[in-house]
Amino acid sequence: MHDERPLWPWIVTALIGLPVLYIVSFGPACWICERLDKGTREVSVVYRPVIWAGNRLPLGTGLMSSYARLGARPQSTPDFSDDRLAWWEFIPYELLTLTPYTTTIVCEAGDADDDPSGAADSNVRDPNPQSDAGPGGDGADIGGSVDAAAR
């Protein structure tokens, strides 16, 4: 005779198993997205209910971030603000080199006679100031050559 098994265990398994599989697949989807450096928009769309719930549950953001970071590179950190996935990369401070600099802008356009304020000469620098004379006062520059205009 034909032995028929009931259908209800399969339905219960599907109703419980598929949502669990969906939630569990969130981590590997994040890892693949982070390793390939693309697909954040797709992951954000497909897993929007997971991200939305994770942002609103008390421990959700921490658990979601830990699970997403589990298979990612160590320097990467997931960000789920605005209910979407974004990855941030940590750059150690030692690798950063900062070079301080200053910029000087000198504008020499126009004619000094056209200045209505009368302060036309206040911004003009003398190319051969008297204070630049060398130690002997002979007009020699730092390199030791003598400036012909100063003689």
Q: Encode pLDDT of 140-150 as tens digits.
A: 445 444 544 54
Contact 114, 108 (CB under 8 A): no
Sequence letter at residue 89: E
Output 124 or 55, whichever has higher pLDDT. Answer: 55
pTM: 0.53
Q: Cα 139–141–147 angle (5° rounding)?
A: 55
What gap in Å lies between CA 139 and CA 130, rounded to an integer?
8
Residue 89 vs residues 36, 39, 84: alpha-carbon distances, Å: 14, 16, 17
pLDDT at position 129 is: 56
pLDDT at position 11 is: 92
Of 24-28, 107-111, 121-125, 127-131, which one has max mean pLDDT? 24-28
Contact 51, 84 (CB under 8 A): yes
Given a cut of 90, whether residue 48 has pLDDT beyond it is yes
Contact 80, 71 (CB under 8 A): no
pLDDT at position 151 is: 47
User: What are the structural domain ranges in the chain?
Assistant: 14-91
Q: Looking at 45-49, 58-62, 100-104, which range is the least confident one? A: 100-104
Given a cut of 80, whether residue 81 has pLDDT beyond it is yes
